[in-house]
Structure 1
Amino acid sequence: MGQTITEKIFSDHVGHEVKAGEIIQCNIDMVIGNDITTPISIKAFEDSGVEKLANPDGFALVMDHFIPAKDIASANQAKISRDFAYKHNLKNYFDEKDMGIEHALLPEKGLVVPGDVIIGADSHTCTHGALGAFSTGMGSTDLSFAMITGGNWFKVPEAIKVVFTGKPGKHIYGKDLILEVIRLIGVDGALYKTLEFTGDTIAHLSMDDRFSLCNMAIEAGAKNGIVAVDDVTREFLADKDLARPSKEFYSDEDATYVQTLNIDVSKLDPVIAYPHLPSNGKSVTQAVTDDLEVDQVFIGSCTNGRLEDLRIAAKILDGKKVAQKTRLIITPATQKISLQAQKEGLVEIFINAGAVFSNPTCGACLGGYMGIIGKDERCVATTNRNFVGRMGDRSSEIYLANSAVAAASAITGKITDPR
């Protein structure tokens, strides 16, 4: 029997053919830490007595959740990571001077590469599967084991093949595709499995769409999401100084899948995930009918804080004003995206419309700072989770949507179809 992309990546790393269900020990190309979860990993690393990282160039530490620090506790938390970075003279250490949300920053820097095995102590590490890599989130102690040994243990996941067909209609993006997948199979429908995204639709998706698609694989319980390398991928990587040579893997025609999911994208409307699960997806048409007023709109996060998202929002907001009773917060995913948005005049459009344009941070997405919502407030967000209390008060409501829906809703003050 043939192999899936994920099986081939692991086979390449261990030096022999592996199949789904096998337990393997595998070298890791990139270990990713952040200011929230890495201090636990650092303590475990130091308690082990090991003095040097097994693969220092394969360890990236990105300060992105509460940077600049929001309070004394977050400042002290960040200091642990900073002290460690300076002590070990980390090459891939990114703080306020070159900041960004880790899952946008590392692809931008060429630090995650097709064919890699990547882990991070952040569940949305699966984002990097958009580059044809195996990438998954693990716990902080798993991260420390990789810091000490350069590898970790994995159970090779079974795969679900998602076949997207047709050309996406107006204002249908990667966010809508993954929300539809989660709506169909549920938040545990791909538990510890690979979601392999295929079909003729993929050729119509930008890299930003693909990052969004793989980012939310975890919201279906998946171990990883992955898209095979094609010309769009190669064009994205062309100007990057890649950390390693790229390796392209493709699933065999006779590869084994535990399930195949077929979705005709040409028939898809923008999808809105109602509270309080990403699987609670409904058509934007339903949301408009429900006449849902919104107190806040948030455009950003590792899911939809990329340049394409800002361009989409700016086109809709240009010459318009945010509704009187609605707040609009826009957070670019990296400083490079922020600079480009300024060069293109997008930031001026946002501010003239009445939006707040912030520094790159994960803060609002996890209800940390820079956009917390209050009692009984309703928010349209381009983030990845809408659990109870995710962005603030437990009585608040989060509606997940793409950037076009979010921008249009900010103007009207209620969930709006941007088409």
Structure 2
Amino acid sequence: MREKVFRDPVHNFIHVNDPLILELIDTREFQRLRRIKQLGVANTVFHTAEHSRFSHSLGVYEVSRQIANHLERFASQTPGDGGWQVEERRVLLVAALLHDLGHGPYSHTFESIFKTNHEKFTQDIILNKTNEVHQVLMKYDEKLPAKVASVIAKTYDNKQVVALISSQIDADRMDYLLRDAYYSGATYGTFDLARIIHLMRPVVDGIAFEQKGMATVEDYIISRYQMYEQVYFHPVSRGIEVVLTHLLDRAMELYQDQQKKQISIDNFVTPDLKPLFEYSVSIEQYLDLDDASILENINLWRHSSDKVLAELSMRFLDRKPLKSIEISPKTRHYLSKIRPLIEEAGFNVKYYTAENDSFDTAYDLYHPEAKHAKTQIEMLQPDGSLAELSTQSSLVKALTGRSYGNARYFFPAEMLMEQTTGDLMAPVYQEFQKYVHNGALIGIYPRNSD
């Protein structure tokens, strides 16, 4: 086919010269990703972070295409020599393009409330015979749907392909770090993508990086650390996520309560969302869902007769995040002091407070017994041997296994407002503010009753 080129602010050009890829892009299932934001609610903090999972998926395809072109220089000559198997190119590129196909709206909040799993839905969408994606894949190779689904499941027999899609330094992470940095306006999420690809070498059961380029790999690790610290774990974004979680929890509670009482619930949620509330969503119904589906319902709930649901919907739509304070093992016990004050001020702590922990590691060693084991980064030595990254880099060694992020306690911003003279609630707010001052839980002013 004649090459198709997509303009892209991160990669400049995205090249498509395989008719299969172009047909997959045009499927209903892939086009749906245009309507799902990559960063969920982060645009309430970083106002230009409006990019979609569609653009990210195209980006992962492009990174994988560049990697495949590079690895062809190291093609396998004999079975088992660890070289790149050129015939795996198509599986790699298709898996890269489709890896996020099963994401729902506001992905991680959505999954926790409605008990879904985007990786499982991705596999099911690819394998479902009625879907356009499956039919396109079958037209080119009847074994392709099963192969691609196994890459997503991390069970594919070629571990090099799996590592390029899902590891501590893969095409997915490399695109989303660069893309999220660009659209959030951050400058600390950038690294030398071209150099990292140039350093890649196929090895038995994986991918390694030339020792001479260790500084470039270190830069990638630091970039990932900084993006999580400054963007992904931003406290205001987390405050909006808490509001979204609570309002969906409240909606679910009301829906189930009305079902038990056999009250008419036809107008409580739109038809496309009802299967989720009943935990019985089919693939076809799932594919009808996008960010607009959730927003449509939240707009309805804003006018609900249930005051909690209506008020939480207002806070989400009008960007009224919960405030937060960092908590530690030394200060956590003071939460028992401030919760009653929040209740006394008229807020239901079930829906207006939350303990939210957001932690990750910049780099971790491989622990095969772990539930979500992370593959380690291997550096290819001049003699052909492999050495794990942290044994070669003092910088990475210092970060290895260390968690970053924090635990925060979220509460209504009204608890920090200055009260006017004569306000009957002023003593409650004043008491709360003795414990919480300048964004910290100081806990040095015990109540008179203590």
Q: Which has the higher contact order (CA 8 A, sep 6+)?
A: 1
With normalisation by structure 2, the TM-score equals 0.23
Q: Which has the larger radius of gyration?
A: 2
Greater share of residues in strand: 1
